[in-house]
Amino acid sequence: MNGSLEYQFVFFLRTHVPKLREKFTRTMENCEKKKRRRLCQKNKENEVEKHGLSDLPVELIFKIFSMLPLFDETLARRFISEYWEGPRILEPNVMFSDESTMSFRNFMSFVYGSLMSSNDAPTLERLHLNLGKLRRNYSATEINFCVQVAVNRSVRELRIDLSGKTLYLPCCLITCRTLKELVLHNLIIKVVPRWFRLPSLKTLKLSSVPAVGKSVRSLLKICPVLENLVVNKKEDDNVMIYTIDVPTLRSLSIINRERTKRTNAGESRGFLINAPSLTYLNIKDAFSNFIMFEPMPEVIKANMKVICDQSEKFIGCRLTSIKHLSLCSLTSTTPYPIGTKLSSLRHPQLCTCSAGWQNLLACMLNDAPKLRSLTLKLKHEVNKDYPKNLWKNPTIVPECLTTHFKILKWRGYAGTKHERNMVRYILANAPCLKKTTFSTKCRNQCDTRFREITSMHRVSEKCQFVFD
């Protein structure tokens, strides 16, 4: 029995093993051939990617161009014929506006040139798409194609203007690691996919981009390293509270130029801002009645032109780290709660256009114990709709005047009775004062006004007067 099994085993080895070995050998040879073919194909693709399309036959190049969006046969043939006369220099800044035929020609030359060029073509610094004014609506495919060409050139700055039409975010941007600045102007974003990301974007500028639903809020969420944000509102988008929630934000600028009238007294319309890393803040908003900040302990510099109807929700304890503050408060309301200490404020600049600026100044002198300089400047037309709150000497001399105050600058000094009283009070109570600078619009009266100032009593013997 054992002998029979041994015989069968030997017979199997002699008859089947050679066949299996041969089959295995053929299989390995076929795999090797497929591997070589794939490697060869990959090398060809890399060669095309490295050297562009310039090594291909002319008719094949034209065939490829004909399959692209926005194809123009005349432009394509002209470009190909001119290309062989000499290499073209790829421009670092490109604009495509459908208002100009020449702009379209230049843009398509940029597209064809980018495809023909090698992989080491120079970086595209800026692409500006200004579309939808004279032509039909551009499809998402056409816009995505334009942006894709720029992404292939490692674009750094992208600007898109669609004349009020809807933008579907180009999906090619999610892989772009070079895009640092994105400017969106006069367009609508309805949907921001949850999977969409702008991985390297540092600066985002939104101009006339209405907040449809939560679109803008969702847009901000897909920017994980965003540092600079500019919001320029010009039209009413029916959003009562505009939310800005960006943990990485360092600089924020809000310009609200809505043409609608201010809201009713019972309505809150404005901005809710949560940016704990913010260091610079710029707000120009004469329409909102609500601006609320979450704690922002790192803000150092702020420029604000606002109407302060809700002072308890404005500067308050949220911005006490400010050192440089430029403020234009269009009403007589002090833009922070009573008792707030602006312990870090060193260099404020107040606009003298509002009716209550003198009252605001008195409050700031009391609430900023380390204030060192003060600039008073008339930046806007004087608002005559509000009753004036005139200067009243503080009953207790502010600490900043007696210990730290060194520089006073007054642009647009009119020399009124109350202004003279204010100057007289500061000169009489600021022993550290080193320099005062005054300028006036009425040149024919400047000598008289300045003589009045120099004749005032001052406690600082080192104080110098400069008259512009």
What are the tens digits of pLDDT across the range 321-340? 888 988 887 665 666 667 77
Assess if residue 404 is contained within a domain: no
Which ranges of 174-245 would DSSP assign to H, the alpha helix? 215-221
Q: Is 310 helix (H, G, I), strand (E, B) or coil?
A: coil
Please give the Cα distance from 183 to 181 (Å, whole number).
7
User: What mean pLDDT comes out for the span 385-411?
Assistant: 84
Four-CA torsion 128, 281, 224, 240, nearest 10 degrees: -90
Q: Rounded distance, CA 308 to CA 270, Å? A: 11
Candidates 180, 226, 190, 181; CA nearest to 211 is 190
Whether 415 is in a domain gets the answer no
CA-to-CA distance for 177 and 365, rounded, in angstroms? 48
| Residue 55 belongs to some domain of the structure | yes
Give the chain's domain count.
Answer: 1
- For 158-173, what is each residue's pLDDT tens digit? 999 998 888 999 999 9
Give the least confident one: 17-26, 264-273, 318-327, 341-350.
Answer: 17-26
Q: Does residue 81 form part of some domain?
A: yes
What is the pLDDT confidence band of residue 436, given thresholds at 50, 70 and 90?
very high
Give the residue with greater pLDDT, 268 vs 246. Answer: 246
* pLDDT tens digits along 340-384: 788 889 999 988 887 778 888 888 898 899 999 999 988 766 655
Structure confidence at residue 23 (pLDDT): 60
| Confidence check: pLDDT of 52 > 60 | no
| Cα(123)–Cα(418) distance, integer angstroms | 60
Instruction: Quote the domain boundaries for residue 73.
Output: 34-208
pTM for the model: 0.78
HSE (side-chain half, CA atoms, 13 Å) at 107:
26
pLDDT bucket at 18, cuts 50 / 70 / 90? low
Whether residue 90 lies inside any domain: the answer is yes
Give 292-309 pLDDT, tens digit per residue: 788 888 888 888 877 655
446 has a pLDDT exceeding 90: no
Whether 43 is covered by a domain: the verdict is yes
Count CB neighbours of 67 within 10 A. 7
Task: With a cut of 50, say whether residue 58 has pLDDT above it.
Answer: yes
